[in-house]
Amino acid sequence: MPRPSRKVCLTLWITLTAVAQNTQPTPKSYNCFHTATPIEIDGKLDDPAWKKADWTTDFVDIEGAAKPQPRFRTRVKMLWDDQYLYIAAELQEPDVKATLTQHDSVIFHDNDFEVFIKPLPNTESYYEFEMNALNTGWDLYLNKPYNKHGKADNSWDIPGLKTAVAIQGTLNDFRDEDHGWTLEIAYPWQAFQSRQEVPPPHAGTVWRINFSRVEWKAGQPREDNWVWSPQGVINMHVPEQWGYLHFRDAKQSDAK
């Protein structure tokens, strides 16, 4: 059987590349409004200011809509003020559990919640933070994605970071059915300064951001990965697929 010509192979490669690009999910967007009232970081999401923030769309499989819907709901909301970026998350979970207590453990060995932030969208570098239901965290800086030979810097710690978890049920007790867990995170604007000069945002600033939830299922060899803005592949380290975080002034109804 004759081999196809170089021209045919090149045409096929271009076609397959175009198809792959066209099937990539469109990154999500979120309007993050300014709040005049600081958030108390206790994990409970009951501050009045949170009522003025919209929830994101529910998380989906990391590969996108072609995969089954996640078994449990996950969603996020965000606000900002002159000192912090606030993140709140709600994770439905009938059996809340966590084991890791050492800071900078490999947190995704537990069920976890993860934040990926790229405050300088035109650079290759970005930041990752993971936490479990015990409020144990892992923060790391990447100079560029792993597929570009980037290296994770575990020595980066977020100065002034605030986190908290609230359990709607009982932790590590399989005998009852839980509702889930909620969390709050406050990133101070100076969090990144030991690695990069990141100016505080203002209304109109745009960052890239994404969230991931790792969920383990008994009898299943691999973890599930549920995300806000689907990646199209099983890899969170593709920043081009992360969502757009738009910093906005306070909502008009709040500014009056």
At 9 the pLDDT is 47
The predicted model gives 89-104 an average pLDDT of 97
* φ, ψ of residue 20 in degrees (nearest 5): -60, -40
The predicted model gives 213-221 an average pLDDT of 93
> Which conformational region is residue 232 in: left (phi greater than 0), alpha (psi within -120 to 50 degrees), or beta?
left
Return the percentage of the chain with pLDDT > 70, whole number: 89
At 24 the pLDDT is 83
At 254 the pLDDT is 55
Tell me: the pLDDT tens digits for 28-77?
999 999 999 999 999 999 999 999 999 999 999 999 988 999 999 999 99
Confidence (pTM): 0.89
Domain 27-255 part of CATH 2.60.40.1190: yes
For residue 28 the two structure tokens come to 């999500």
At 66 the pLDDT is 86
Answer whether residue 1 shows pLDDT above 50.
Answer: no
Q: Which residues pair with 66 in a beta bridge?
A: none
- Give the mean pLDDT of the chain: 91
Answer whether residue 6 shows pLDDT above 90.
Answer: no
Is 30 within 8 Å of 40 (Cβ atoms)?
A: no
Answer whether residue 15 shows pLDDT above 90.
Answer: no
Cα–Cα distance, 114 to 227 (Å, whole number): 9
Tell me: the pLDDT tens digits for 162-210?
999 999 999 999 999 999 999 999 999 999 999 999 999 999 999 999 9
Instruction: Give me the residue label for tokens 């300064």.
Output: 193
Instruction: Give me the residue label for tokens 């990144």.
Output: 192
Q: Which residues pair with 168 in a beta bridge?
A: 180
